[in-house]
Amino acid sequence: MTKTPADTAGAATTAPKMTPEDAEARRAVKPVICYPNDTLAPPDLALYHAARQTAVKVGEVTVPPRDGASFTVKAGQFFRITSIEGPQVGDLNLFNANDLSEKFYSGKTRALHGTHITTGERMWSSHPYLRPMATITADTLGWYGIDEFGGSVHDVIGTRCDPYTNNLLSGGQYHHCCHSNLTRALADHEGIALAEAEPQVHDVLNVFMCTGFTRDTGQYFMKASPVRPGDYLEMFAEIDLLGVLSACPGGDCSSEHSSDEAACHPMLVEVFAPAEGALGEWVSPPVNGYDRSHGR
């Protein structure tokens, strides 16, 4: 059989896969932590816990299954997200309540703390602000740690289920993905159009979700969340916050999301205000100190 020019060109550009002689030495190079965080000022958890003992509930919101809802928290208050009827995960967006351009930065939070966050770690805001938005003060799933599959809870690696990826993979038109739930809830709170709200929706903290990366293919995985009714994640608001939470259509994410097949449950958000003076000299953190000159 005579090869065509196209065949010849293809063969010429197809290189064999080769393993270098020093492959194992290259793999054996020890990793370096990109952002050592020992210079970060630690949160004063003792102060927060003492203030929490004086706090009274000042508001609550129930997030319906497969839907989203918004809530506000003033700087110096606490908010608690609770699983109330059955195992349920939630996708959380946070904004500066006074300026939507300052929002949760999952990538930098991941770089500073790791793929999953728990008590004593913080949700950081986007550039150019880059300051603590909220500090985790209590986590009833803190015992879970990292399991044999590399899974853990409260991840900052997933992006949120969305109708675009759902359409890409299945061709469907599903409107209760977390991205859409967050978009609707934000639009309703701000009194703006969906088209204006959608660009503000951002990568999330996956509350209660159990996730990781497979060891063989490096793919993002989910598994049944260990959350049970009564479990909660509680945070201290470092700045005035607008929170938007979606009760994921995947329920406990044990099998699938972006469908009406999974058993889904509501979630409860409660806001607590400490007694006056309970925080002593505490002040809300300022925005990042970089001068924004960018070398010019």
How does pLDDT run across 268-284, given as a tens digit for each residue?
A: 999 999 999 999 999 99
For 108, the 3-state DSSP assignment is helix
pLDDT at 191 (0 to 100): 98
Band the pLDDT of 123: cuts 50, 70, 90: very high
Q: What is the mean pLDDT of the chain?
A: 94
Question: What b-and-e string marks burial along 46-84, b requiring 16 or more CB atoms within 10 Å of the CB?
Answer: eebeebbeeeeeeeebebebbbbbbbbbebbbbbbbbbe
- Whether residue 266 has a cis bond before it, omega within 30° of 0: no
Instruction: Kindly write down the DSSP assignment for every residue of 116-160, as one continuous string.
Output: B--TT-EEEBPTTT--EEEEEEEETTTT----TTS-EEEESS---
Structure token digits, residue 58: 């000042």
Band the pLDDT of 114: cuts 50, 70, 90: very high
pLDDT at 15 (0 to 100): 66
Question: CA–CA separation, 143 vs 134, rounded Å?
Answer: 21
pLDDT at 259 (0 to 100): 80
Q: Does residue 96 contact residue 240 with C-beta atoms inside 8 Å?
A: yes
pLDDT at 273 (0 to 100): 98
Look at residue 6 and tell me whether its pLDDT is greater than 70: no
Q: Does residue 94 contact residue 242 with C-beta atoms inside 8 Å?
A: yes
Band the pLDDT of 12: cuts 50, 70, 90: low
For 180, the 3-state DSSP assignment is helix
Q: Which of 6-10, 101-105, 255-259 has the highest mean pLDDT?
A: 101-105
Look at residue 256 and tell me whether its pLDDT is greater than 90: no
Average pLDDT over residues 155-167: 95
**Of all helices (H) and strands (E), which one includes residue 112?**
helix 106-113
The whole model's pTM is what? 0.92
Phi and psi, residue 162, nearest 5°: -145, 155
What tens digit of pLDDT does each residue of 27-42 get?
999 999 999 999 999 9
pLDDT at 68 (0 to 100): 98
**Of all helices (H) and strands (E), which one includes residue 63?**
strand 56-63
For residue 171, the Cα-to-chain-centroid distance in whole angstroms is 26
Q: Does residue 69 contact residue 185 with C-beta atoms inside 8 Å?
A: yes
Average pLDDT over residues 50-55: 98
